[in-house]
Amino acid sequence: MQKIIFRILDETIAKTDNLCVFGLKPGRTLLEAYYYGTQKPFQVCELNVRKRNRIQKIILDDDELVLGAGDRKRLHCDYSPVNADNIDKIEWKSSDETIASVNSHGTLTCKSCGICKIWCIAENISAVCNCEVRPYLESLDVDLSDNSTDGLLYLEPMQEYELKIKVYPLNSIDRNYTITSSDYNIANIVGNKVLAKNTGTATIEIENISRRKKTSFVVKVSKTKGKFWKKLF
C-alpha cells in the first residue's frame, strides 16, 4: 500500500503527526494529502478550527440512591456553561447493567440487588451516582407465642408487652413499619411495646412503610389474665 503524507499549510492554526490533526487556534487553513515521493497533492480539504465551548462541569441531582428491585427513576443533570456546544454529547452509562440499566434519557431501571455506579458523561467530563438496589419486603410477622395460645394477646391493665416483629429479608428497602391500635384507651403503643390501659379488646395492626405488607392481632385486657392463664394452670 502506497504511503500517504499529510501537510497543513498554516501550522499556526493546526498541526498533524500524519495520523491525527490538532487544532491550535481559531482560523481556516488547508490540509493536503500527498503520495510519498510526489510533489502534487492528490487531495486538498479545508480545515476550520473553532474555539470550543464544551461542558466544564456536570452536577447530578442525586449522588447516592437506594432503590428497590423493579423500581424506575429518572435521573437529572445540570451542566455549565448552559450554552455549551456539546450538550448533544451527554450520555448515560451503568457500571453493571445486570443490577441497573440506564437509557439515553437518564431513566434508571433496577433489575437485581447489588451496588453499581451510574455515569453521566459529556466527552471528557463526567459525574457519578452510586446506586444500591435492595429487595422489597416479602413477609412481616409478629410472634406472640410466649403470651398466647389462640392468637390473642392477654394482658392486665398497666402491663407492658414488647412485640417480637420479624421482617424478611432483613435488608429490604421497605422494612420499617408502623404499629397502630384500634383503641388507645385500651391498648396504647409506645415504640415496639403494647401498654395495656383499661379492660376490653383492641386490634393492633403492624404495617410496613410502603403498605405492601401488614399483619394484625387482638389484645384482650382483663384483670384476671383470662383464658391464657387458665390453660396454663
Q: Give SS3 for 132.
A: strand
Residue-level pLDDT at 117: 97
* Three cell numbers written together for 61: 441531582
Residue-level pLDDT at 225: 55
Residue-level pLDDT at 224: 72
SS3 content of the chain, % helix, strand, coil (to 5): 5, 50, 45
C-alpha span between 115 and 44 (Å, rounded):
52
Do residues 205 and 216 touch, judged by C-beta distance below 8 A? yes
Count how many Cα atoms sit within 13 Å of the Cα of residue 14 in the half-sphere of its side chain: 24
10-45 pLDDT tens trace: 999 999 999 999 999 999 999 999 999 899 999 999
C-alpha span between 11 and 16 (Å, rounded):
9
**Amino acid at residue number 156:** E
CB-based burial label for 73 (10 Å; 0-12, 13-18, 19+): middle
Residue-level pLDDT at 51: 87
pTM: 0.71
C-alpha span between 7 and 32 (Å, rounded):
5
Residue-level pLDDT at 233: 40
Running DSSP on this structure, what letter comes out for residue 88?
G
Residue-level pLDDT at 231: 46
Residue-level pLDDT at 229: 45
Mean pLDDT, each 10-residue run in order, the chain (233 residues)? 91 94 94 93 94 94 95 96 94 97 96 97 95 97 87 93 96 96 97 96 96 95 64 43
96-105 pLDDT tens trace: 999 999 999 9
